[in-house]
Structure formats: C-alpha cells, structure tokens
Amino acid sequence: MWTELTQFLPEVILMATELLARPGDLPEAAAPVPRHLSLALVVIAAAQLMIVLDATIVNVALPEIQRALGFSGASLAWIVTAYSLAFGSLLLLGGRLGDLYGRRRIFITGVAVFSVGSLLGGFATSEAFLLSARALQGAGAALAAPTALALIATMFPPGAPRNKALGVYAGMSGAGGAIGLLLGGILTTYVSWRWVFFVNVPIGLSLLALSPFALVSSGRQRGRLDIPGVITSTAGLALLVFGLTEAAAGQDGVSHWGDTKVVASLAAAAALLVGFVFIELRTSHPELPLHLLKSRRRSGAYLMMLLLGTAIFAVFFFLTIYIQTVWNYSPVRAGLAWLPFPVTIIAVSTLVARVLLTRVGVRPLLLAGPLLAGFGFLWLSRLSVSGSYWPDLPPAMVVVSAGLGLMFVPLTLMVVSHVRNEDAGAASGVLNVGQQIGGAIGLAAIGTIAWSAVASSVQDQVAAGGAAAAGAAAQSAGAIPTPILYQALTDGFSQGLFVAGMVTLVGFFVAIVTTWTPGRIRLSSAVREDGIQPCDEALGTCEAAGA
C-alpha cells in the first residue's frame, strides 16, 4: 500500500504543475546558473513577502469580516489559525517535495495554490468558505516558502551574490509582518476587507508568469516520498499548532491549558512527533534527513529562529491591539505606526549582507542581535496609558528591528551552508517550521501571561476602590470602566512584552554555545567571503558537507 501511495502522490503533483513548468528540465546537479539573477531574486523576494505578510494582513480587517460574514467571537480567531495551521503543518512536506520533484515546479505550484486561495477568500460569503480559503492559502505558502529559500541556496553562487540574495530574503521575512499590518489597515479603510485577499492575486499571477523564465529548472531526484513520515509529521505539527492556539488565554484572562482537547492535542502531537523521529531514523528516504540536525550551528540557528518567532508574533499582536484600543488609533494609523519596523529591518539586513558578513562574520552578529532586540522589547514594555507615539514607540521599534536585522541573514546562512543540494529544501523547511511553531508558542504562552495579567489588574483596581459609582454601575451591566480597562491592558501587555524581551535574550546564550569554535584564529582572517569561519581539520571545527 505504501508503495502505491508513494508512486501516486508525486504524479499528482507533477500533473498539477506540468502546464506551468518549462519543458526540458535538467537534473539538479546540472542546473545552470540563470543569466538574470536579479529577476530571480525579485520573484523569490516577492513570493516570500506575499507569504509572510498574509499572516498579519487580516488582523486589522477582523472586525469588518466579523460584521460582514457573521463570525462569532470564538470562531473569529480561526481566520488567523486556519492559515497558520495549514502553513506550519505542511512546511516539512513542502521542502522535501521541492528536493525530490523540482524546486521551481513546487514553488510555482505553491504560488498557484496560494493565489487561488486568495481569490476564493476575497469572494467568501460564509465562515466555512473563508476558513477553507485561508487553509488553502496556508497550504500554498507551505509549498512555496521552503522552496524559495532552497532556490537561493542552489541558484546563487556562494559569496557576495548569495549574501545579497539572503539579505533581501531576510528583509522580506522579517518585515513582512509589519508590512501586512500597514497594508491591511489601508485596504480595509479605503477599499474593502475583501482586498486583503484580492491583493495577492495580481502578485501571484505576475510571479507565475515570470517564474518559468527567472528560475532554474530542476528535475526529479532519486528517492521517493516518505509517506509514514509525511503523515506523522503533518498530523503532529497540526495538532501542536492547534493545541497551542486553543490553550491561550482569551481576553477574559481564563487559561485553557487544562482543557481536555488541549491536553489531548498536545499529547497526541508529542506522540506523533516522537514517532516521526523513529521513522526518520529507520527509513532510507527520510522526509527530514536527521543528519541536518547534527550540525551544532544549524541546530542553533533553528532554536534561535524558534525564540524569535515566539517573541515577534506576540509583540505584533499586543502592540496592534494596544495602540488601537488604548491610544484609539484607526486601522490606517495603526498600520503606519509600524513603519519604522520594516524600514529598519530591510536597511540593516542589506547592510549585513553587503558589508558586515564579510568584515566581522556570523558570530559577532548573532551575539549582538539578541542583545539589541531583547533590550528593545524591554524598552517597549514600558507602556503608559498617558504615553504617545513619539517618543514611546519609534526609538524602541528601531532598536528591536535593528537587532532582528542583524540576525536574520546570519541565521539563514547557517542553515543553508554546508548542505547537500538534494537536502536544501528540507533544511529550509525546518527553519520556517521553527518560526511558525515559535509564533504559536508566543501567542499561547506569552498571550496567557498577558491576558491573565490584564484580568488580575482589573480585579486589583476594583478591589482597591478604583471603580467609582459610575464604574460600578457599568460593571454590573457587564462592562469594564474605560480607565480601568486601559490601565489593565497597559499592565498586562507590558508584562507580555517583558517576557518577549527575556525570551529574545535567551538567543544570546544559544549563540554563544552554538557558534563557538575552538582555537578560533584572529577575526580579520577568520571570515570567508560568505561570512562563515573557515574550518580547521586539526582542531575539528569542520562541518562536512551535508552535516
């Protein structure tokens, strides 16, 4: 049965992309370098930006969507969850499909699926319709995202060309969330909530037209799909994201970590993922070649990306709610408030790729980045009800985004360096999984801490006599007086931002351990053109290709 499924699934994928792929695909080893690397970079960067911003672009449109389609308060969150659930659970599969059946082909398939999902989402007329479209978007993103990074790793020559490409890719990855909030606010206010979905369609069509000419084609690799591994990893990651999402405390401050469905989901996820590891150890054609995790640097990069995802997603969520509720910003103004974030990340990522990597190397950047970003998150945690946009937000945002900009390119480089060509997609998929699972952990764990602190602050203020007679009357009617609510949100979200800062600072210690090289020689001569320190066989610091 497994053999039949293994033979059938690749054929379905190949049939789906046959009309989009150019004829005459070459074996991976013989893939030529494209003549127009700049065009290839534009295609890859645009796809990555489209995928990342869609995780946040709907956030500011949620109230409009709720009114238009009649979503209940409990089901509204699933507009975000449906995307992250499909995206996070299928990433490993997407990366491996690219390795086995051609990265350009799977990339094009992913963009096509994502575009169709976006089109359907814009035309949605019911809850089920929209949630299905969001899941389809997530599935397309899971195919395109890991193959996009793998295409950079295999198409761009090591050194300056690859560093430049990684700088652009990292800038899009880091800035996409903030750009999504900005674009979502503008489209929702001046056009319609439907355009947060429709906006992807012309971009997707342009990418589909350019990809066959801009990207190098690649044929099928030897090997077959690891069906048991696909089933256990996909189900395990899906249950993990679902359990974390359902566990988070809501605005009432009530935690759901002890709920039966949460405990059952997380326990089943743990069992499936442990089973996945045992399957990968025994199979000759693993979905995730576990030798990729033997590299201390690469495993460190995955862990640091997990930590960054935990902090960033939570901060986007808290600050967006805060400035719209407490400071009474409109969706457009709230989106514009994030402008320093993407601008700084893109600028610093470009500087890192073009200058700093070759001058100082990976390690100093990965040591400085978490310290800078962590300090910025702690700065943001000093929220005040009476505060204002300037100087409370922009300086701290610049510090956070500068720290993130220092890290994204080196982390990506550590993942794709010393990886065999046939494993580039799998290695890239794990990096994306780390970011997505980190986001789910952040919204669940840090969200629980923040909302619990909000509820506790309300109770403390009422107990201390903070509610006047009018406030008491409002509470008896089921409302919380505005001054108490604003102070509670400030207290709770400040605590959440503080925790996000501490989580980010943990990355500093991870970097110390995972990037340390025994017998390191003088810095000025210790850096190759791609920013990775050269190995020394005598000292045992080499990482063999494919490690």
Report yes or no: 55 and 196 within 8 Å, Cβ to Cβ. no
Report yes or no: 385 and 271 within 8 Å, Cβ to Cβ. no
In a domain, residue 534? The reply is no
Q: Which of 109, 107, 101 is nearest to 222 (CA)?
A: 101
Determine the pLDDT at residue 246: 87
Determine the pLDDT at residue 255: 78
In a domain, residue 547? The reply is no
Q: CATH number for the domain including 346?
A: 1.20.1250.20
In a domain, residue 526? The reply is no
Cis previous bond, 161, omega within 30? no
pTM as predicted: 0.85
In a domain, residue 523? The reply is no
In a domain, residue 49? The reply is yes
Give me the number of domains the chain comprises. 1
In a domain, residue 541? The reply is no
Distance spanning both ends of the chain, measured CA to CA: 33
**Token digits for 186?**
């503008």
Domain range for 380? 9-22+34-215+225-517
**Token digits for 518?**
């025994």
Determine the pLDDT at residue 518: 60
pLDDT by residue, tens only, the chain of 547 residues: 334 334 433 443 344 444 334 433 333 333 455 557 889 999 999 999 999 999 889 888 888 898 899 887 667 778 888 998 999 999 999 999 999 999 999 999 999 999 999 999 999 999 999 999 999 999 999 999 999 999 998 898 888 888 889 999 989 988 888 899 899 989 988 999 999 999 999 999 999 999 999 998 766 666 788 999 999 999 999 999 999 988 876 776 677 898 999 999 999 999 999 999 999 999 988 999 999 999 999 999 999 999 999 999 888 888 888 998 899 988 888 889 999 999 999 999 999 999 998 888 899 999 999 999 999 999 999 988 988 898 899 999 999 999 999 999 999 999 988 888 888 999 999 999 999 899 889 988 998 899 999 999 998 888 887 555 445 544 444 567 888 999 999 999 999 999 999 999 999 999 999 988 764 433 333 444 455 544 433 223 344 433 4
Burial class (CB in 10 A: 0-12, 13-18, 19+), 298: buried
In a domain, residue 369? The reply is yes
Buried b / exposed e over 154-185, threshold 16 CB at 10 Å, is: bbbeeeebbbbbbbbbbbbbbbbbbbbbbbbb
In a domain, residue 529? The reply is no
What's the longest Cα–Cα distance across the chain?
A: 79
Determine the pLDDT at residue 542: 42
**Token digits for 8?**
């059938």
d(C-alpha 249, C-alpha 445), whole Å: 8
